[in-house]
C-alpha cells in the first residue's frame, strides 16, 4: 500500500488534545464579593481543586467513630474524588488509607462497610494490616529460585498511602496534608458547635445519599447562606421552627473557613420591618396548615432553646440539628457538574424509643425527600444550568456588606460566603 509519508506525520501531531490550551483565569477585581461562574464549570479549575483543596491543607470528614465501633471494622468513603478507607485497628486506633493497592493500583475495599482481619487485594494477594502496612505479597520469593520480587524489596516501603487522622466528639476527619494545623486548632471557635451537639456516644440511624447535578461549591455555599434559609424554605417560616424575627446568631472561626448558625424557636421579637417584609415572603404561607402537626413536636434536648443549628466546615462537611433530627452531610464531588451529598442520620446510644421515633419522624423534614430541604438541591441544579458554560457572569455577594467582617453575627448576611471565597482563592492561588 502506498501511503504518502506526509499524511502519517500529520496524523501523529493532530491528536484530540494537541491543541487544547488552559484558559488563564483572573478573579474579578471586587474580590470575594464576586464568584465568577467559570469557577463552577471549568474542568481545569475542578482538577486543581482536587489537588489544592481536597488533597491540600484541609481536614475532610470521613465518618463517625460509631460506624467503625469494633477492631477490624472498615468504612469505604471519599475525600474529593479519591476513595479512602477508614479502619479501626486491633488496638482500637483509627486509620485512613487510600483505597488503592500499593502494587498495581487495584481497589481494595468494595463494600461500604465491613469487618476484616486485614485489607486484601484480590488481584495479586498483597495483604495489608488495618494500619495500612504491607504484611505479605504472594510469591514474593518466586518459585524454585525463579521469579519473585527483587532482593532489595522491603515490605515496609510499600504500604498503603496513609492519611493523618483526628477525631472530635465521635466525628472522624482525615487530611492528605502534613502541614495543616491539628484538627481542633483548624476548627477554632466552630468546634463549640460540634461539642454542643455531640456530647455523648452516638448511634447511627441510617443513610440517604442525594446525587445533585451541580458543582460541589454550589452546594457548599448553601448551608453557609443564612439569608436564604427562612425565605426559600416555606416550612421553616410557616411553622415557626426558624424565622428571621427569632433570636439567632452566627459564629465563624478566625480564618472564616467554618461557620455555624443557630435559631431559637419561640423567641419572636416583634418589629415593624419584619412584619412588612414577611407579609411579602412566599415562605410565610397561611394556607400551609398541617393536619398532623405532631411531626414538628420537638424536645429541647440540649437545654438551650436552640431549634436549628447548621454547622459547615470547609470544604465538604455539614452537621445539622433541625429540632431533634441530627445528621452529618458529606459532600463528595463527582466531576465538575455533579456531587453526592451523603446524609448520615444518628441519635445517641442512650436515647429512649420515643426520642428515636421523634428523630425518625422528623427525618421527613430533611434529606433528599425532606419537606424543608428538597429546595436546596433544586436550587443548586437550577443555578448550575443558568450558569451555562460559565464563560460570562458572576454572583454578587454583598448582603451584610463588602468585607469579611461586615454583617457581624446577623443571619441576614452573606458574610460566611464571602469568607468561603476568600479562603478558596488563597488555596487555589487565584487573584
Binding site for other proteins (CB under 8 A): 112-113, 204-213, 232, 234-235, 238, 285, 287-288, 290-292, 295, 340, 345, 356, 360-361, 363-364, 367-371, 374-375, 377-379, 381-382
Q: Which is nearer to other proteins, 176 or 343 (CB)?
A: 343
Q: Which is nearer to other proteins, 375 or 394 (CB)?
A: 375
Q: Which is nearer to other proteins, 377 or 416 (CB)?
A: 377
Residue 263: all three cell numbers together: 435559631
Q: Which is nearer to other proteins, 237 or 315 (CB)?
A: 237
Q: Which is nearer to other proteins, 290 or 431 (CB)?
A: 290
Give the CA angle between residues 241, 324, 275 to the nearest 5°.
5
In DSSP terms, 68 is beta-bridged to none
Least separation in angstroms between residue 382's CB and other proteins is 7
Least separation in angstroms between residue 205's CB and other proteins is 4
191 CB contacts (<8 Å, ≥6 apart)? Answer: 168, 184
Least separation in angstroms between residue 269's CB and other proteins is 25
- 327-332: long-range contacts (C-beta < 8 A, 24 or more apart)? 327/366, 327/367, 328/61, 328/64, 328/171, 329/223, 330/61, 330/62, 330/77, 331/216, 331/219, 331/220, 332/77, 332/78, 332/80, 332/81, 332/216
In DSSP terms, 346 is beta-bridged to 204, 326
Q: Which is nearer to other proteins, 146 or 353 (CB)?
A: 353
Least separation in angstroms between residue 108's CB and other proteins is 20
Q: Cα separation of 87 and 75, whole Å?
A: 7
What is Dmax (Cα atoms) for the chain? Answer: 90
Q: Cα separation of 410 and 358, whole Å?
A: 30
Least separation in angstroms between residue 19's CB and other proteins is 31
Least separation in angstroms between residue 43's CB and other proteins is 22
Amino acid at each position: 500500500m502506498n501511503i504518502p509519508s506526509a499524511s502519517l506525520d500529520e496524523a501523529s501531531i493532530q491528536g484530540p488534545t494537541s491543541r487544547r490550551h488552559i484558559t488563564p483565569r483572573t478573579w474579578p477585581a471586587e474580590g470575594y464579593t464576586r464568584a465568577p461562574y467559570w469557577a463552577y464549570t471549568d474542568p481545569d479549575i475542578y482538577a486543581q481543586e482536587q489537588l489544592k483543596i481536597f488533597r491540600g491543607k484541609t481536614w475532610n470528614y470521613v465518618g463517625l467513630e460509631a460506624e467503625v465501633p469494633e477492631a477490624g471494622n472498615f468504612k469505604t468513603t471519599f475525600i474529593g474524588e479519591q476513595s479512602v478507607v477508614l479502619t479501626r485497628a486491633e488496638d482500637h486506633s483509627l486509620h485512613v488509607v487510600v483505597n488503592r493497592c500499593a502494587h498495581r493500583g487495584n481497589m481494595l475495599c468494595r463494600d461500604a462497610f465491613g469487618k476484616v482481619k486485614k485489607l486484601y487485594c484480590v488481584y495479586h494477594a498483597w495483604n495489608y494490616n488495618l494500619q495500612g502496612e504491607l504484611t505479605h505479597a504472594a510469591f514474593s520469593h518466586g518459585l524454585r529460585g525463579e521469579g519473585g520480587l527483587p532482593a532489595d524489596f522491603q515490605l515496609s516501603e510499600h504500604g498503603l498511602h496513609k492519611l493523618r487522622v483526628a477525631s472530635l466528639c465521635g466525628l472522624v476527619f482525615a487530611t492528605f496534608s502534613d502541614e495543616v494545623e491539628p484538627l481542633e486548632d483548624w476548627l477554632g471557635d466552630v468546634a463549640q458547635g460540634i461539642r454542643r451537639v455531640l456530647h455523648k456516644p452516638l448511634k447511627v440511624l441510617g443513610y440517604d445519599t442525594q446525587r445533585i447535578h451541580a458543582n460541589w461549591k454550589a452546594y457548599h455555599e448553601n448551608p453557609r447562606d443564612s439569608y436564604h434559609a427562612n425565605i426559600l424554605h416555606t416550612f421553616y417560616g410557616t411553622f415557626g421552627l426558624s424565622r428571621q424575627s427569632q433570636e439567632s446568631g452566627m459564629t465563624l472561626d478566625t480564618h472564616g473557613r467554618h461557620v455555624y448558625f443557630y435559631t431559637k424557636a419561640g423567641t419572636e421579637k416583634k418589629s415593624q420591618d419584619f412584619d412588612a417584609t414577611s407579609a411579602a415572603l412566599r415562605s410565610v404561607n397561611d394556607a400551609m396548615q398541617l393536619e398532623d402537626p405532631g411531626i414538628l413536636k420537638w424536645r429541647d434536648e440540649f437545654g438551650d432553646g436552640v431549634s436549628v443549628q447548621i454547622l459547615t466546615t470547609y470544604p465538604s462537611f455539614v452537621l445539622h440539628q433541625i429540632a431533634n433530627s441530627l445528621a452529618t452531610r458529606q459532600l463528595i464531588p463527582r466531576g465538575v457538574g455533579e456531587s453526592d451529598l451523603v446524609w448520615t442520620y444518628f441519635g445517641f446510644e442512650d436515647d429512649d424509643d420515643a426520642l428515636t421515633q421523634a428523630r425518625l419522624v422528623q427525618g421527613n423534614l430533611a434529606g433528599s425527600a425532606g419537606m424543608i430541604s428538597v429546595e436546596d438541591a433544586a436550587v443548586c441544579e437550577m443555578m448550575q444550568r443558568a450558569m451555562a458554560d460559565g464563560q460570562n457572569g458572576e454572583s454578587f455577594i454583598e448582603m451584610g456588606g463588602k468585607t469579611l467582617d461586615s454583617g457581624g453575627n446577623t443571619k441576614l448576611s452573606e458574610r460566611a460566603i464571602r469568607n468561603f471565597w476568600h479562603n478558596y482563592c488563597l488555596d487555589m492561588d487565584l487573584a
